[in-house]
Amino acid sequence: MNTERFDTIITRWENGETPSPDDVRALEQACAADVRVARRYGKILPFIRRDAGLESADESPLRPNGAAEPRSQLVEIADLVMESIAESGHLPRRRHRISLPVAAAAVIAIALVGIGAIASTLFFSPTQQPIAHDSPSDTVTVRFSLVAPEAQSVSIVGDFNDWAPGLHVLAEPDSDGVWWIEIPLQRGDTYTYNFLIDDEVWIPDPRAERTIRDPFGTKKSVLNL
Amino acid sequence: MDDDLKQNDAETCRRVLSGDRNAFREIVLRYQKQMLRTASSFLGDAEQAHDAVQEIFIKVFHSLHKFDTNRPFAPWLYSIAMNTLRTSYGRRRRIEFREGIEYDEPAGAAPEAESQNPIDEVIREEQRREVSAAIATLPPTLREVVVLYYIEQLSVSETSEALGITTENVKSRLFRARKILKGKLLPDATDGAVW
């Protein structure tokens, strides 16, 4: 079979021309009729189908994993996510709800993991003015630190990173076990945050200006800039 | 995008935001298959994809207060997904660099299929592996548009919204990706014949 026509269709597609459904159908029919044509064009065909505005079937080479995912694994994901959410104790809240009653300053989580942590925001803290990295712009670079010599990893999670673990990982500690990170934040905003130790234990910053409890009783550190 | 689905998503999000934490399970069940497919295609590693999908949904939960329920949920979800996957991919690259790990082919490549229908199934499986491998070798900025546009079938404007780039940027990346994919997936044929 001469495939010149199909090569032309593909070259045009490669150069940004939208393939016509008729061209795609002709190519599909040729693939269905001859295994050698299928071998040659089958891998590129689903891309062309998509650009011609035709949907991909589940058996398309473009859908390698999701369609075949066992149901048990999918259920497991939902269970694990819900479990993690329940453990974190947080509920997504609208910003105006930040003015909750200030809670007592017990740091139970620290005792639980036995790290004897102390933490602070260095370049900016409740009783200090920013002393470094303070530019004339609206951004203030804040240095967060935490003494946790026995921790394997420490990250900071808060409003500024959507409470996403792993986005702001503190630099590995010095000989005193001090982990730290600098984060540019918006001047004039109020942030809530916590530290996350070893991807498991959430603790508030013990030296934060204040902490609040969310509706589920979880403590969060508050930083006013 | 399906209007009913959009409506359902908005309603479910409102329930979560008003304190019904369990309603979030509905969102996970509704989108986990797409997320798993996206993560597998982007990361090329099934196990890492599984972990990443959990991370995506946890992040979505904690960010839900920022979601405008008048807007479609899926592009917003994909934007969080792609941010998470980029981080996850970067993390893996750093580990591989530190530990000197090299892959001959994407780790997510599926094993040889046990086929009931010999030729069709074997070809299909072979092609899946090759397509996955070709996508996995694209630079991350091109791979993400390919995953969203070709695999997840998002429109150009949804892809643009999900990635936080302009539609022109999406088109230009797709153009570059097509060139690379064609080079990898279509063997040269100088005489215009397949045999």
Quickly tell me which residue has 């999701």 as its tokens. Answer: A66
pLDDT value, residue A69 = 54
pLDDT value, residue A72 = 55
- CB-CB neighbors (< 8 A) of B46 in chain A: 65
Nearest residue on chain B to A65, alpha-carbon basis: B37
Give the pLDDT mean for A132-137: 51
Residue A210 at interface with chain B, using a CB cutoff of 8 Å: no
User: B158: left (phi > 0), else alpha (psi -120 to 50), else beta?
Assistant: alpha
All structural domains of chain A, each given as residue ranges with its CATH number in brackets, are 4-67 (no CATH), 100-224 (2.60.40.10)
Reply yes or no on whether the pLDDT at A130 is more than 60.
no
Smallest CA–CA distance, residue A210 to chain B, in Å, is 21
pLDDT value, residue B194 = 52
Size of interface A-B (CB pairs under 8 A): 172
- CB-CB neighbors (< 8 A) of B22 in chain A: 82
- CB-CB neighbors (< 8 A) of A93 in chain B: 65
Which tokens hold the place of B137?
């070798």
pLDDT tens profile B98-112: 555 444 344 444 444
All structural domains of chain B, each given as residue ranges with its CATH number in brackets, are 3-185 (1.10.1740.10)
- CB-CB neighbors (< 8 A) of B119 in chain A: 35
Residues paired with residue A195 on neighbouring β-strands, in sequence order: A156, A203
User: Given pLDDT bands bounded at 50, 70 and 90, which one contains residue B160?
Assistant: very high
Q: State which of A16-20, A147-151, B89-93, B120-124 shows the largest mean pLDDT.
A: A16-20
Residue A66 at interface with chain B, using a CB cutoff of 8 Å: yes
Residue of A165 and A8 predicted with greater confidence = A8
Residues A221 and A193: their CA atoms lie apart, in Å, by: 5
CA B14 to chain centre: 26
Residues B35 and B28: their CA atoms lie apart, in Å, by: 9
HEC readout, chain A: CECHHHHHHHHHHHCCCCCCHHHHHHHHHHHHHCHHHHHHHCCCHHHHHHHCCCCCCCCCCCCCCHHHCCHHHHHHHHHHHHHHHHHHCCCCCCHHHHCCCECCCCCHHHHHHCCCCEEEECCCCCCCCCCCCECCCCEEEEEEEEECCCCCCEEEEEHHHCCCCCCCECECCCCCCEEEEEEEEECCCEEEEEEEECCCEEECCCCCCEEEECCCCCEEEEEEC
Query: In A, residues 159-198, which contact B (CB 8 Å cutoff)?
Result: 162-167
Give the pLDDT mean for B171-190: 86
Give the pLDDT mean for B73-78: 92
Residue of B128 and B116 predicted with greater confidence = B128
Among partner residues B19, B32, B179, which is closest to A78 by beta-carbon distance? Answer: B32
Q: Which residues contact B62 (CB under 8 A, 6 or more apart)?
A: A88, A90, A92, A162, A163, A164
**Residue A98 to residues A78, A117, A126, B17, B56, Cα–Cα distance (Å):** 29, 25, 17, 14, 24
Quickly tell me which residue has 């979030």 as its tokens. Answer: B24
**Residue B14 to residues A67, A162, B80, Cα–Cα distance (Å):** 29, 18, 19
- Reported ipTM exceeds the 0.90 cut: no
pLDDT value, residue B89 = 77
Reply yes or no on whether the pLDDT at B57 is more than 90.
yes
pLDDT value, residue A137 = 66
Mean pLDDT for all residues in chain A: 71
Give the pLDDT mean for A135-150: 77
Least confident of A10-14, A49-53, A124-128: A124-128
pLDDT value, residue A213 = 77
| Interchain proximity A50–B193, CB inside 8 Å | no
| Interchain proximity B25–A73, CB inside 8 Å | no
Reply yes or no on whether the pLDDT at A48 is more than 70.
yes
For testing the chain B interface, which of A35, A48, A63, A189 should be mutated: the one with the most B CBs within 10 Å? Answer: A63
